[in-house]
Amino acid sequence: MQDIKVEVRRYIEDNFIMGASGVTLADGDSFLEHQVLDSTGFLELIGHLEEAYRIKVLDDEMVPENLDSLQNVAAFVVRKRAA
């Protein structure tokens, strides 16, 4: 789970934050609230998760509880891979 968090954090930082904006994200911080991801950004994140972890994110799973923080994403990916 820790590995997933580290990897997803790197992905988010590389793709959506980089050095320029100076946002530092805590594990529980909402991507939406911090203006890190918007609707397009979430679709990109989903694409990345599907590819990197070989999971399929169903429409009904596209909810903040699964996707809107590093913590939530990591827990979601762990659950999906166990299923």
Partner 1 sequence: MLLHHAFEQTARRVPDKLALVAGAQRLTYSELHHQVRALAHVLREDGVLPGDRVMLVLENTPEFAAAVHAVLAAGAVAVPISPQTKKDKLAFIASDTRATAMLTHAQLAANWAPALQGAPALRSCRVAGRLTGADARERPWPGADARAPEFEAARIDQDLAALIYTSGTTGVPKGAMLTHLNMVSAWASVQAYLGLREDDVIGLALPPVFSYGLYNLLMGLGLGATVMLERTAAFPIRLAEALARERVTVLPGVPTLFSALLDLPNFSRFDLGALRLLTNAAAALPESHVQRIRAAWPLARLYSMYGLTECKRASYLPPEELDRRPGSVGRGIPNQEHWLVNEQGQRLPHGSAGELVVRGSHVMRGYWERPEETHERLRPGPIAGENVLYTGDLFRSDADGFLYFVARKDDIIKTRGEKVAPREVENAIYQLDGVTGCAVVGVPDESLGQAVKAYVTLRPGSGLSERDIIKHCLTRLESHMAPKAVAVVDELPRTESGKIRHASLR
Please give the residue ranges that form the binding site for partner 1 (CB under 8 A).
14-18, 20-24, 29, 32-35, 37-42, 59-60, 62-64, 67
Instruction: Give the HSE-up count for residue 57: Cα atoms under 13 Å, Cβ half-sphere.
Output: 22
Nearest approach in angstroms of CB 25 to partner 1 is 10
With respect to partner 1, which residue has the nearer C-beta, 52 or 63?
63
Is 8:73 a contact under the CB 8 Å cutoff? Answer: yes
Using the minimum distance from each CB to partner 1, give the nearer residue, 35 or 81: 35
Distance of closest approach, residue 50 Cβ to partner 1, in angstroms:
17
Q: CA–CA separation, 40 vs 19, rounded Å?
A: 21
| Residue 26 Cα distances to 16, 17, 31, 82, 83, angstroms | 15, 13, 10, 25, 27
| Residue with Cβ nearer partner 1 (19 or 83) | 19
